[in-house]
Structure 1
Amino acid sequence: MKILTLVFVLLFGIIGKAQELKGTVLNIKNNEPIVGASVYFDNTSIGTITNFNGEFSINLKQPINSPLVVSFIGFETQIHTIKNFNTIKQFKLKEDINALEEVVLNSKDEWSRQYKLKQFRREFLGQSEFAKQCKILNEDALILNFERETKQLIASANSPIIIKNEALDYIIKYDIKDFAITYNINLESNLDLEKAFKTVASVVYSGTTFFENIKSKKHKRALRNREKAYIGSTLHFMRAIANNRIKKEKFKVFKGQYQTDPSLYIKTFKNDSLNVTEVELLMKLNILCKGRQSAIKSEVKRFYIDAYGNHSPIDKVLFGGFMARQRIGDFLPVNYGL
């Protein structure tokens, strides 16, 4: 009898730690509930939509550092850091005035829309085998401008971009905040700038992402593709660091061109109060995993990795090689495999 009681107490303790986020989404103008608002944790498949009372409920298996995104078409998107899951949240959205304004296109734009779409698809979706199986379902929502002075292709959108990834069986909703491709191009050339020789100097983009699982007739193949996309990815490496499994996960770490022991240059410290692993990266390192070469450098003394493999601050940990080349077409939700 005592054994049964102990088992019950242990199970109750485990269940009691499960986190549930509850709340409502209202129109700030009249406090009316917003029906069908999207509420999700960024870069995950963890989310829901509000019911007829504007209410939502999201269950989490373990703590997460991803910001919570609250959005609805015609209203300004809100992004929140959730630290306390025990209180019922209330989010009040206000109408997005900019969404009602007429978009003014650059009359001096020298690139056709079709050419700009081609450039955008290549750098946004990527050029991998999986990226080639992606399709943007609402390209009409994209606003694209080539700015001669800055040599940049600027992209924005009046609603989240919806991508169908047939290789990985995801519908991805991406809410663009910033997107810019900067080119090396000779502006003095007499050639049509579409035809002029150019190279991409940099690609900078930011936004929020939500993944929806779909089950096609080729879902088993998609599951294998997901595993392939995961191997050697940023998510894979961050989880390997947090769980002290760098070698076991088949990552090789190099100082310059010489292989080295990862523990000499990657120091980890468990922070149980915040449910994160603190990481000190002592220098720029090169990484090899199953033929995929990458590089990593930290611009802060310490960065943090949560139980999902989320790292922060995301803009202070820089990548090169394979990890840097991955685009939306290769992305997985951070709760992948958990």
Structure 2
Amino acid sequence: MAFPFVSVIGQSSQSITIQGRVLDKENGSPLVSAHVYISQTKVGTATDRNGEFSFTTKMSGEKTLVVSFLGFKTNAKLIDLDEEKTPLTFVFEMEPNQFDLDQVNVSTSNKEWLNNFGKFRRYFIGDDALAQQTSIENPWSISFETDKNDNLVATASQPLIVKNDALGYEIEIDLVNFTLYKNEDASAYTYYSSFTEMSPEKNSDINSWNTNRERAYKGSFEHFLISLYNDNLRVNDFEVVYLGSFDPFTINEFIKTTPEENITNEQGVKVYRLEDPVDVLYGDRNNNFHQRERSRITPLTEVGVFIVTEDGKLKNPKSLRLDGVWASHLIANLLPIEYYKN
């Protein structure tokens, strides 16, 4: 189902066909019904009885093509949708997974697992109003352990099925890694995601999803990045300020001064440099100045460079740390790339 507020960004002038085969690496046999998708979107398909797949998209730029199949390691490949050669053809050889696929005994007697799952849910799904309407349908697939620094590490034996009744999406999430740091109120994780529109049970569901998606998007980190990319922060009610203040600060595009500073030649991205943490305010300036939402971004690389795509994503996700309001916007606030409002 399509909703009136949805539009596709970064579109090509023509449809691009993505095709190929998915095989078992050990014996070369085709894998039937493997899920092949472009991460963070609603675009994808399943392989046929010959392990073959084919679908089209009008998206452009670099995207991540993901193959997921139960019992095998998730396979991901960065692809360029702006290549002149079409169709784009790929062969994925899948390696068997070493996970023990026995289900975890999820019960009130498994106190340690339940305690760890509560922490995982808080730092992966979130704990805001949207998170209260978001559930993990197969929690038994998650296992927990601690690393040498006593941090909590989560792994999943199969893709997580996340149902978001507030936003109207079912999300298949291939969890690459998840770490909850013991001595910090923070987690770090990497994943691939595929979105499917939920079918409304009643007409009011559509209106509710419209409203919640709008709220989830406005003021989000993705909204900020898109606004930064398009140089319209002020128009979209964002203001970057010095740490803990209300004094304006400007995030400048990175300008290389030597050939060695060539960060990327990719089209459709912009490079910025931030040497110290700054705060980002969001909200109508006509309201109480001190009541705007405040978030914080902290550079994590030595040179402070971060790369922004036109669809509001960080090309190098580990380049920035988010605190404040944005730190609470987790999977429950997640929207597909197709959702875009300038």
For the residue of structure 2 that corresponds to 1:258, the secondary structure is coil
**Structure-1 residue corresponding to 2:124:** 124
How far did residue 32 of structure 1 move? 3.1
Q: CA RMSD in A?
A: 2.9
The one of 332, 335, 338 aligned to 2:335: 332
Matches within 5 A, 1:91-240: 91-99=91-99, 111-145=111-145, 150-184=149-183, 201-216=185-200, 217=202, 218-240=205-227
For the residue of structure 2 that corresponds to 1:336, the secondary structure is coil
Q: Is residue 103–residue 141 contact of structure 2 (8 Å, CA) maintained in 1?
A: no
Matches within 5 A, 1:13-92: 17-83=14-80, 84=83, 86-92=86-92
How far did residue 15 of structure 1 move? 7.2
Greater Cα offset, 202-211 or 86-95: 86-95
Q: Is residue 231–residue 289 contact of structure 1 (8 Å, CA) maintained in 2?
A: no
Q: Is residue 19–residue 53 contact of structure 2 (8 Å, CA) maintained in 1?
A: yes
Aligned pairs, number: 302
Greater Cα offset, 162-171 or 63-72: 63-72
Aligned-partner Cα distance in 1 for 2:294–2:141: 35
**Structure-2 residue corresponding to 1:3:** none
TM-score normalised according to structure 2 size: 0.78
**Structure-1 residue corresponding to 2:272:** 279
Q: Is residue 68–residue 174 contact of structure 2 (8 Å, CA) maintained in 1?
A: no
Aligned-partner Cα distance in 1 for 2:41–2:254: 25
Q: What per-residue deviation string (whole Å, max 9, x for no partner) do you get for residues 266-303 of structure 1?
A: 3278x996222233335432101123211123334543
How far did residue 305 of structure 1 move? 2.3
Aligned-partner Cα distance in 2 for 1:18–1:220: 31
Q: Is residue 37–residue 45 contact of structure 2 (8 Å, CA) maintained in 1?
A: yes
What are structure 1's unaligned runs of at least 5 residues?
Answer: 1-13, 185-199
Aligned-partner Cα distance in 2 for 1:160–1:71: 8
Aligned-partner Cα distance in 1 for 2:129–2:60: 33
**Amino acid of the residue matched to residue 267 of structure 1?**
E
Q: Is residue 174–residue 208 contact of structure 1 (8 Å, CA) maintained in 2?
A: yes
Q: Is residue 267–residue 281 contact of structure 1 (8 Å, CA) maintained in 2?
A: no
Rg larger for: 1
TM-score normalised according to structure 1 size: 0.79
The 1:292–1:19 alpha-carbon spacing in structure 2 relative to 1, beyond 3 Å, is farther
Q: Is residue 64–residue 308 contact of structure 1 (8 Å, CA) maintained in 2?
A: no
Q: Is residue 311–residue 340 contact of structure 2 (8 Å, CA) maintained in 1?
A: no
The alignment-based identity, stated in percent, is: 27
Q: What per-residue deviation string (whole Å, max 9, x for no partner) do you get for residues 83-134 of structure 1?
A: 34635423233342403577999xxxx9532222222222221111000111
Q: What per-residue deviation string (whole Å, max 9, x for no partner) do you get for residues 181-214 of structure 1?
A: 2335xxxxxxxxxxxxxxx543222222222111
Q: Does 1:321 align with 2:324?
A: yes
Aligned-partner Cα distance in 1 for 2:55–2:265: 23
Aligned-partner Cα distance in 2 for 1:319–1:175: 22
What are structure 2's unaligned runs of at least 5 residues?
Answer: 1-10, 256-263, 284-291
Aligned-partner Cα distance in 1 for 2:275–2:114: 45
